[in-house]
Chain A
Amino acid sequence: MVPLDHYLALSGVLFAIGVAGVFLRRNLIAILLSIEVMLNAANLAFIAFGRTLGTVDGQIIMFFVVTVAAAEAAVGLAIVIALFRHRESLNPDLFTSLKW
Chain B
Amino acid sequence: MGTELLLFYAFAAVAVGASVLVVARPHPMHSVLMLIVAFAALAALYIQLHAPFAAVIQIIIYAGAIMVLFLFVVMLLNARQEEAPAPGTLLVRGPLRSGALLAAVLVAELAWALDAAQGSDDGLLAGGAGADPASLGSVRELGRVLFTDYMFAFEVTSILIIVAMVGAVVLAKREL
- Cβ A2 vs Cβ B4 within 8 A: yes
Q: List 5 A-B contacts (CB under 8 A).
A: A2-B5, A6-B12, A18-B19, A25-B23, A91-B82
The 5 A-B pairs with the shortest beta carbon distances in the complex, nearest first, are: A54-B128, A54-B131, A71-B164, A78-B171, A21-B23
CB neighbours (8 Å) of B48 from chain A are 2
CA distance A64 to B76 in the complex (A): 29
Contact A2–B8 (Cβ < 8 Å):
yes
Among A12, A13, A37, A74, contact of B35 (Cβ-Cβ < 8 Å) = A37
Q: Which of B54, B121, B141, B170 is close to A4, meaning CB atoms less than 8 Å apart? A: B121
User: In the complex, what distance in Å separates the CA atom of A80 from the CA atom of B130?
Assistant: 48
A residues at B contact (CB < 8 Å): 1-10, 12-14, 17-18, 20-21, 24-27, 29-30, 32-34, 36-37, 40, 43-44, 47-48, 50-60, 62-64, 66-75, 77-82, 84-85, 90-91
Asked whether any CB of chain A lies closer than 8 Å to the CB of B104, the reply is no
Interface residues on B, range: 35 or more
Q: What CA separation (Å) do A59 and B46 show in the bound complex?
A: 10
Minimum Cβ distance to chain A for residue B91 (Å): 11
Return the CB mask of B5-36 against A: 1 if under 8 Å, else 0.
Answer: 10010001001100110110000100110010
**Inter-chain contacts of B137 with A (CB < 8 A):** 56, 59
Total A-B residue contacts, Cβ distance less than 8 Å: 209
B2–chain A nearest beta-carbon distance, Å: 9
Q: A4-B117, A43-B42 are in contact. Are A80 and B23 (CB under 8 A)?
A: no
The answer, among A2, A37, A78, for a CB contact under 8 Å with B167, is A78
**Nearest opposing residue in chain B for A29, CB measure:** B28
* Per-position binary interface string of chain B over residues 95-139, scored 1 when its CB falls under 8 Å from any chain A CB and 0 otherwise: 000000000000000100110011001001101111100001100
**Contact A63 B146, CB 8 Å, known A25-B82, A33-B22, A68-B160:** yes
CA–CA, A7 to B57, complex, Å?
19
Within 8 A of A (CB), among B75-106: 76-77, 79, 82-83, 85, 90
Q: A5-B117, A8-B114, A70-B61 are in contact. Are A56 and B136 (CB under 8 A)?
A: yes
Are B69 and A56 interface neighbours, CB within 8 A?
no
Least CB separation from B82: chain A residue: A27
Query: When the two chains form their complex, are residues B20 and A17 in contact, meaning their CB atoms are under 8 A apart?
Result: yes
